[in-house]
A and B are shown apart, each in its own frame.
Chain A
Amino acid sequence: MTRIATTTSINLIRHNKRRPESTFTDLTTEENEWLDNTLAILATGKERSIEDHLVAADLADKVLFTLPPDDRLILMLIDVDHAPVKEVAEMTGWSESKVKVKAFRARRRMRQAVEKLLKGAAN
């Protein structure tokens, strides 16, 4: 059941393909402001407002849509929901080592996408 749900999700995500470049240019003013202020927020560690959360969630969607569906799934399961590697392997039908490798690559792609975003915001 879990595997079917996972596969259906991946298929739907694949169906709604979006290109990375198109999303980065579509940042709203709020998202640009959020990016400008975020590093300061991270440095000070101060509490963010509800609006900040919403803007961040929208921005997260945009960044996530630039990644392949498998990467999105792995990031959401392991880094967000803190699902064990074994459980993710059972859900997806991949081996545990494949899950680990995919998670490593997904984190790298996500980080690189955010770096690109930061460079875009700086320019």
Chain B
Amino acid sequence: MQEQHIIDLLDTRPLNDLREAELSAINQHTANCPRCLQAFQAAQLSNLLLRSRAELKTEPSAFFKTNLMAAIRDEQVQLGPFSFFRIWREACSLIYSMAALAVIIGGLTLWQLGTNTQNMRFSTTDPMELLVYGMDSASVDLSYGAVLMDLYGTPAENTERNRQEK
């Protein structure tokens, strides 16, 4: 330490934060080094000046307050779209899960509707209903006259003849 200059040590930390060992090393070195002594005295003085400055409390000027408020307003204006983005970022997982739930519920509803129609279609045992729905296997081969015959019990020819007589 005796050979090394202590100027760097003076600038590394505030003078008040230097340890006892460091201060004694500085004192030992400055006893023989006028350059470092001058630097040490200047460091002590600057420390004293800063402390004196800190003890003097000063209120910020009105101009500073105006500038500060303007800067805060600018910052808030700039943050506008970002705040929306932040809200979206926070809520997007919830929105996605809700959309997925809606799709699942819609799908289940459609599936349920399809199942009900199928059940209804095959639940009937009335031959007339089967005929109307076209589910009767025999209806495929039935002619128009046969259908009328089934419905009204009158031959189709008679109906035609009656119409002609009228």
Interface residues of A (CB under 8 A from B): 1, 4-5, 7-9, 11-12, 38-39, 42, 53-54, 56-57, 59-61, 63-64, 75-76, 78-82, 104-105, 107-108, 110-115, 118
Q: Is B54 positioned at the interface, with any CB of A under 8 Å from its CB?
A: yes
Kindly state the separation between the CA atoms of A3 and B72 in the bound complex, as whole angstroms.
10
Contact status A57-B46, CB under 8 Å: no
CB neighbours (8 Å) of B89 from chain A are none
Contact status A107-B11, CB under 8 Å: yes
CB neighbours (8 Å) of B47 from chain A are 79
Given contacts A57-B53, A80-B54, contact A42 B71 (CB under 8 A): no
CB neighbours (8 Å) of B54 from chain A are 76, 80-81
Minimal beta-carbon separation of B112 from chain A (angstroms): 57
**Using a CB-CB cutoff of 8 Å, which residues 40-70 of chain B contact chain A?**
41-56, 63-64, 67-68
- Residue of B10, B42, B55, B72 near A57 (CB, 8 A) is B55
Kindly state the separation between the CA atoms of A113 and B39 in the bound complex, as whole angstroms.
11
CB neighbours (8 Å) of A80 from chain B are 50-51, 53-54
Interface residues of B (CB under 8 A from A): 10-12, 14, 38-39, 41-56, 63-64, 67-68, 71-72, 75
Kindly state the separation between the CA atoms of A61 and B49 in the bound complex, as whole angstroms.
9
Given contacts A60-B52, A81-B54, contact A111 B10 (CB under 8 A): yes
Contact status B41-A78, CB under 8 Å: no
CB neighbours (8 Å) of A1 from chain B are 72
Contact status A57-B52, CB under 8 Å: yes
Given contacts A12-B64, A78-B14, A108-B11, contact A118 B50 (CB under 8 A): no
- Residue of A53, A59, A111 near B11 (CB, 8 A) is A111
CB neighbours (8 Å) of A59 from chain B are 49, 52
Contact status A56-B48, CB under 8 Å: yes
Contact status B14-A114, CB under 8 Å: no
Contact status A79-B50, CB under 8 Å: yes
